[in-house]
Every structure is written in C-alpha cells, then in structure tokens.
Amino acid sequence: MNQSRDIPEPDLPAFPPEFLWGTATAAYQIEGAAREDGRGPSIWDTYCRKPGAVLHGDTGDIACDHYHRMEEDLDLLAGLGVGGYRFSIAWPRVIPQGRGAVNQRGLDFYRRLVDGLLARGIAPMVTLYHWDLPQPLQDQGGWQERDCAMWFADYASVVFDALADRVPYWITLNEPIGASFYAYAGSHAPGLRLGGGAIAAAHHLLLGHGEAVAALRALGRAAGRIGITLNFGPTSPATQEPGDIAAAARADALATRWFSDAVLDGAYPKLLTDFYEPICDFTFVRDGDMARISTPLDFLGVNYYKSWVARACELPPPGERRATDLGAVTEPPPGAELTGFGWAVCPDGFRDTLLWLREKYPGLPPLYVTENGCCYEDYVDPTGRVRDAERISFLQRYLRAAAAAIEAGVDLRGYFCWSLLDNFEWTAGYSKRFGLVWVDYPTGERLPKDSYHWYRRVIAAQTLRCER
Ligand code: FCB
C-alpha cells in the first residue's frame, strides 16, 4: 500500500543546521520487566496497586515491553532518522534499594541502550529521574527528607561513572512539579495528601538537582552537558474580575515560575512564598541551598503541552490546604480546540512561552523542547493503518511555532516529540496514546502511525536542506 500519497507534505520553514530532532520516552512508561534482572520496586509500582489510583488498575509491569524489545525500538528510531533520543533511567533498576548496592544488570541494560543509539548515530539524552523513586526510599520519607537529595546525587554519580563518557546530554529531573506538588496533592505517586510537605519535597528535588550538576561537573568538560526539564503551563485570567486576575497570577506562578525562578534566578516567586505562609514556614531552605540550586546550566529542557485560563474559587482552611490549592480553578481557554486529553491546542502559547523565557531570564541557557505532543482516539483501521491526521496537524502547528520563536531570536537547539511509542500515561493508564508508533498492548507489536512517516519526512527534508 502506498501510504505516502495521502500523508500531507510537511510545510515548515528551515530550522538551523545543527537542530536536534528527536523523540522522548520515560522508563516506567515503556520498559516493563518490573521484577526482572534485579530491579527493585518504585513508588509507581506501589501506587498502581492502590485501588482507584490508576484507570482500570493498569500498571507498568509490562508496559511496552521495551526492556525486551529494545533492539526493535532502536530500529524504529533509526528509521525515523532522529538525531537524538531522550529516555530515562530507572533508579530502582540501578540501585534496587535506592541506596547502597548497585545492580550491574540494570546498568548493563542502559549501557546496551546507549551503545545501540551511538551505533545508529543517535545522541542519547538521559533523564536521571522521571518520577520513579525506589520504594525503600519512600519508606524512609522520600523527597520530604533532605537526605533524599544526597541519595539522588549518589545514584547520579553511579550512572555518571558508567555512562558519562558516552552521553552528551544529561537531564537531572523531569518536571519536578509532578513529583512534588501533584504527587503530594494525591494525584501522582506516592499519592500522599500534604500541604507544606509538598513544597519541602519540591525543594529537596531541586537540591538533588544541584548536587547532581556538581557531581557531573566534577568529572570535567568531557562529561557532557547537563540541564533540567521543566514544564510550562501559562495561565491567564478567565475574566477581568480582580479575583480571577489574582487567582490566575497564583496559578501561573506555580505552573510557569516556581521551578524556573529557583533554577535560573535562585529564588522562589515571592507572590507564592507569601501566599504559602499559612501552610509552610520554609525552614527547610538552608543557607547556600538556593546558590546550589541555581548553579548555571548548559541547557534548559522545556516541556510544553497546554495553556489555561483560571477563575477564583474558595480556599480550604489552612489545616486542610494542599500546595496545589491556590484558590483557582483552571480550564482550557474558551473555544480552544482540544486534544484527546481535553488539553487546549495552543501553538501560540508555546511560541509565547519560548519568547517569554528569553525575556524573563537574561542568563537563559540554550533551550531544548524535551517534550511536546498529543493524544487522540487513534485506532488501527481495517487496512492496518493508524491515520492520525490530528497529530500531524498538531505537530505541524507546534513546529511552525518553534520556528517562529527561533526566527525571533530564541536559542532553541532541538525538539523531542512525546512520544516514540504509545505508553503508560500515569493515572490515565493505557487509555491515552501519545505515540508516533502504535503499540498493540496484548501482543507488544509496534505499528508506525501516519505521523511517524510524516515526522520522518520532516527530519529528512530539514537534513537534506542543511546538506545542500
Ligand atoms: C508529561 C510527562 C510525560 C508524559 C506527558 C504526556 O507531563 O513528563 O511523562 O506523561 O506529560
């Protein structure tokens, strides 16, 4: 069957010659093999077993079975023609207890993955922490404990020792907001409901980030570049009512600036530290912490999925308040086109976020879009194809927005589409398909969607243009 005839031609301006085209995944979402070769349990293994926590009671036990199908997935990446691949390392696979004994079989898996990428001319971009804390560390308090920062730095050093000579891009943390504010609001593992404890956990995550940056830097220049991946969900007021304006300002500060201000400016946004006073005394911030956290980075990873509008709502009393209770309810901007997740499609918001980052932070390092993508109600049609025209249209518009930001002077160096494969979408289980490649979960079979072929053409056309 000739698929190329009815897949639209990419219509994009030229990107810079060195632009890194890639896709992204994360360990718990794709690997499976949850109890193999010495892997220990993570907080997500535990959380998935909590009744009602994850849709259909889905777990990452098997996921996409990437652990056993790694070669096939590497070939899919090579077929796509990407120059980079972002994946994460599962801490519990490398150090099953979280601290102490290293599991060589776990490290060997990632060595094979890195070598397989390099053999295909693909640059590995490695995330050290994509939310899968070893359960034994959670049992000792997890990220609420300051010691967790050092446990993370020790784990990072083990990984650096094994791979730093071969990995050009390191990411300490993926979206720390998910592992702290959301995790301690009850909607992500470990699913505890805390107030100020979530803010302490966020601080300790950032401290761990700072320590890991220092550990890599101690290895010298040859050890690759290091950054952090933050997500940005710009939020504007739903109306011009003063209450809605104030609510949106708080929601926006958390969704766009809590982490980036800390990492790039060395301070948390005052608007929120004042607001959090009734639930948090900030005594966990010690002298020197903010300097450690704001160690200059080689790059910033940007995840962008959606923008919001917010309106005011009532706040629970301080004793019952979580750190995500900002007296604001958020919703998609009115009239916005929505993805299969109900997230607003707003490529302009994406472009504006990239421009805003450049304006706001004078010392901003180069940017990589480390995640952007969408899920829709994809299905395999009777001819055996996944005709995901919406995803193609989505990517086309977001890539144009990225090009516009570059044109306006943003130092954007690469774009990693989320995701290579359909995978375990956290509390939504397997119900949300974000992949360029369809995964048939009962058999594990892979089927490139139309968007895979489209993205391959994007990359090929850009590469050809640069070679001319
Ligand atoms: C991001 C996560 C990623 C994936 C996408 C859809 O917030 O980093 O793991 O779930 O959302």
Residue pLDDT, tens place only, 107-148: 999 999 999 999 999 999 999 999 999 999 999 999 999 999
Give the Å distance between the CA of 304 and the centre of ligand 1. Answer: 10
pLDDT higher than 80, residue 303: yes
Neighbours of 328 (CB within 10 A): 27
Q: 81, exposed or middle or buried, with CB in 10 Å at 0-12, 13-18, 19+?
A: middle
User: Can you tell me the distance from the alpha carbon of 307 to that of 348, in angstroms, rounded to the nearest whole number?
Assistant: 10
Give the Å distance between the CA of 211 and the centre of ligand 1. Answer: 24
Catalytic residue selected from 175, 211, 390, 425:
175
User: Can you tell me the distance from the alpha carbon of 359 to that of 378, in angstroms, rounded to the nearest whole number?
Assistant: 38
Give the Å distance between the CA of 171 and the centre of ligand 1. Answer: 15
User: Among 375, 263, 453, 307, which residue's Cα sits nearest to residue 29?
Assistant: 375
pLDDT, tens digit (0-9, with 9 covering 90-100), for 375-405? 999 999 999 999 999 999 999 999 999 999 9
Residue 52's SS3 state is coil
Which phi and psi (to 5°) does residue 17 adopt?
Answer: -55, -35
Contacts of 467 (CB under 8 A, 6+ apart): none
Sign of the C-alpha dihedral, residues 380, 384, 390, 396? positive
Pairing of strands 328-331, 308-312: antiparallel
Q: Residue 464's pLDDT is what? A: 84
Catalytic residue selected from 145, 241, 359, 371:
371
Neighbours of 382 (CB within 10 A): 5
Average pLDDT over every residue of 235-255: 98
Share above pLDDT 70 across residues of the chain, in percent, rounded to a whole number? 99
pLDDT higher than 80, residue 223: no
Structure token pair of residue 406: 């570059």
Structure token pair of residue 41: 């349990």
Instruction: Determine if the peptide bond prior to 294 is cis (ω within 30°).
Output: no
Contact call for residues 64 and 439 (beta carbons, < 8 A):
yes
User: Can you tell me the distance from the alpha carbon of 330 to that of 238, in angstroms, rounded to the nearest whole number?
Assistant: 9
Contact call for residues 22 and 125 (beta carbons, < 8 A):
yes
Contact call for residues 367 and 357 (beta carbons, < 8 A):
yes
Give the Å distance between the CA of 242 and the centre of ligand 1. Answer: 33
**Ligand 1 neighbours (beta carbon < 6 A):** 26, 29, 174-175, 231, 303, 371, 418, 425-426, 434
How much is the mean pLDDT over the chain? 97
What is the DSSP code string of 127-177? EEESS--BHHHHHTTGGGSTHHHHHHHHHHHHHHHHHTTT-SEEEEEE-HH
Cα angle 305, 247, 202 (rounded to 5 degrees) comes to 60
C-alpha 246 chain-centroid distance:
28
User: Can you tell me the distance from the alpha carbon of 462 to that of 57, in angstroms, rounded to the nearest whole number?
Assistant: 42
Confidence class for position 221, pLDDT limits 50, 70, 90 = low
Q: Is 175 a catalytic residue?
A: yes
Q: How many residues in the chain? A: 468
The one-character DSSP state at 60 is: S
Q: Is 445 a catalytic residue?
A: no
Average pLDDT over every residue of 56-75: 98
User: Can you tell me the distance from the alpha carbon of 90 to that of 40, in angstroms, rounded to the nearest whole number?
Assistant: 10
User: Among 431, 450, 449, 451, which residue's Cα sits nearest to residue 441?
Assistant: 431
Max alpha carbon distance in the chain (Å)?
65
User: Among 95, 98, 75, 123, which residue's Cα sits nearest to residue 446?
Assistant: 75
pLDDT higher than 70, residue 327: yes
Residue to mutate, 188, 371, 422, 434, ligand 1, most ligand atoms under 8 Å from C-beta: 371
